[in-house]
Structure 1
Amino acid sequence: MMAEKATSAREGGKARAKAYLSIAVVVALALLAWWFDPAWLYEWLKVLHVVAVISWMVGLFYLPRLFVYHADAEAGGEPAATFVVMEQRLVKVIMAPAMMVSWAVGLWLAWSGFGFQGTWLWIKIAGVIGLTVFHVFLSRSARRFAAGENTMTARQWRMANEVPTVLMIVVIIMVIIKPFS
């Protein structure tokens, strides 16, 4: 059974154009804010960073959970096709943009707020690199699921779901406690 497309090519083109326009506006506003460097910019960028990180972490927690159910679904069946759509949209629409914003704003905050100084900051960055590696692993796994080439069991996906939790705990400790200041 072939899965029906949720949107037409025309609707997809409109959505793509809106997304590109939104990105252009955000980049232009970011450049203006960077150029003028108002006093309020740093605090608002921290807000943006936290929102982006939360969005990214939601995806890092949810995608392996989808994989748990997808691994148990009958290959080629309707549930498996639905999981493929859900997984691809989660990666492309939520996780990838949230990761990019987290990195871009986080690096700016590390530079402007701390001058990349502090062992705690470098441990935090190492944790974020770990999250990024896990993100890439999940993205590739979503493509493998879409191609019908998953090699992991539902139990293995449940265990993989713990990876972002451990890395998140390390990052939060470094940000709040700063044990190596």
Structure 2
Amino acid sequence: MLWIKAFHIIAVITWFAGIFYLPRLFVYHAMAEDEVSRERFKVMERKLYRGIMVPSMLVVIALGLWLISFNMEYYLVSTHWMHAKLTLVALLIGYHHYCGHLVKVFRDDRNTRSHVWFRWFNEVPVLLLIAIVILVVVRPF
């Protein structure tokens, strides 16, 4: 079980690295003024999303479900912190998929949002990460 937990944590770190970096690429992409830069950002965004973020998310979900399966009654019936954590993870998965939507928006040259909007958008996963880590470590309820 400890090996599964270790690889789950590694996958979470990898997934969050992408979740933190992709919106930063959106900031720079929204600021780009020349075609060469915009095309470069399209490639970087696509590769980051498809090559790192999606596989990492899938591994996080698979290993997380595997960990829960070891003691399903405890995690899904007795622990309210786990319910809260899974709710936040669901929001994070939604954020992830919205990032995928934005990759397509930029790919198709349809972005209408400013770099400032993307700077704020980039802060959402930080808040989710803080809350998730507190729930897992402190288990406040």
- Tell me the TM-score normalized by structure 1: 0.74
Shift, 1:174, TM fit = 0.8
Shift of 1:110: 1.7
Q: Residues of 2 paired with 1:43 and 1:114: CA distance?
A: 17
Structure 1 residue 114: deviation in Å?
4.8
Q: Deviations over 1:96-123 (max 9, x none)?
A: 0000000111111122145323100010
The equivalent position to 1:91 in structure 2, one of 49, 68, 74, is 49
Shift of 1:70: 0.1
Shift of 1:152: 1.2
Matched, 1:48 2:3: no
Q: Percent identity?
A: 40
| Aligned partner of 2:115 among 117, 141, 154 | 154
| Aligned mate of 2:59, from 101, 106, 109 | 101
Select the structure of larger CA radius of gyration. 1
TM-score (norm 2): 0.94
1:32-69 deviation digits (Å, cap 9, x = unpaired): xxxxxxxxxx1000011001000000111000000000
1:67 aligns with 26
Equivalent residue for 2:39, pick from 59, 77, 81: 81
Task: Give the aligned residue type for 2:33.
Answer: E
Match of 1:138 among 99, 115, 136: 99
RMSD after superposition? 1.0
Structure 1 portions without partners, runs of 5+: 1-41
Structure 2: segments with no counterpart, 5+ residues? none
Measure, in 1, the Cα distance between the counterparts of 2:109 and 2:84. 37
